[in-house]
């Protein structure tokens, strides 16, 4: 069953995530496959900055990427359900 996203869930996630948290998982697009779509790669990063609408994660090798709080919440919900992202 699909459930909606509540603003209170996003607010709770923003409060829970702290600078330096190092087990933040997110799926990011990597390379184009034969069908023309992008394969998702699960990456784990460290939170290095927090903003009202997004967070900045640093991955191994020093790469930094921004992720929205919604992306983080959806990944958290998917991992709780055991779904492949």
Query: Higher confidence at residue 34 or residue 8?
Result: 8
pLDDT tens for each residue of 19-50? 999 888 887 766 666 666 666 778 889 999 99
Query: Residue 49: which residues within 8 A CB-CB, separation 6 or more?
Result: 19, 55, 56
What global pTM score does this model have? Answer: 0.76
- In angstroms, the CA 44 to CA 75 distance is 12
């Amino acid at each position: 069953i699909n459930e909606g996203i509540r603003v209170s869930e996003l607010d709770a996630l923003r409060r829970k995530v702290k600078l330096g948290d190092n087990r933040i998982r997110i799926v990011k697009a990597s390379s184009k496959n034969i069908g023309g779509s992008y394969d998702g790669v699960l990456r784990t990063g460290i939170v290095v900055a927090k903003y009202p609408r997004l967070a900045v994660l640093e991955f191994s090798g020093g790469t930094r990427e921004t992720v929205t709080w919604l992306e983080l919440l959806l990944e958290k919900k998917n991992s709780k359900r055991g779904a492949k992202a």
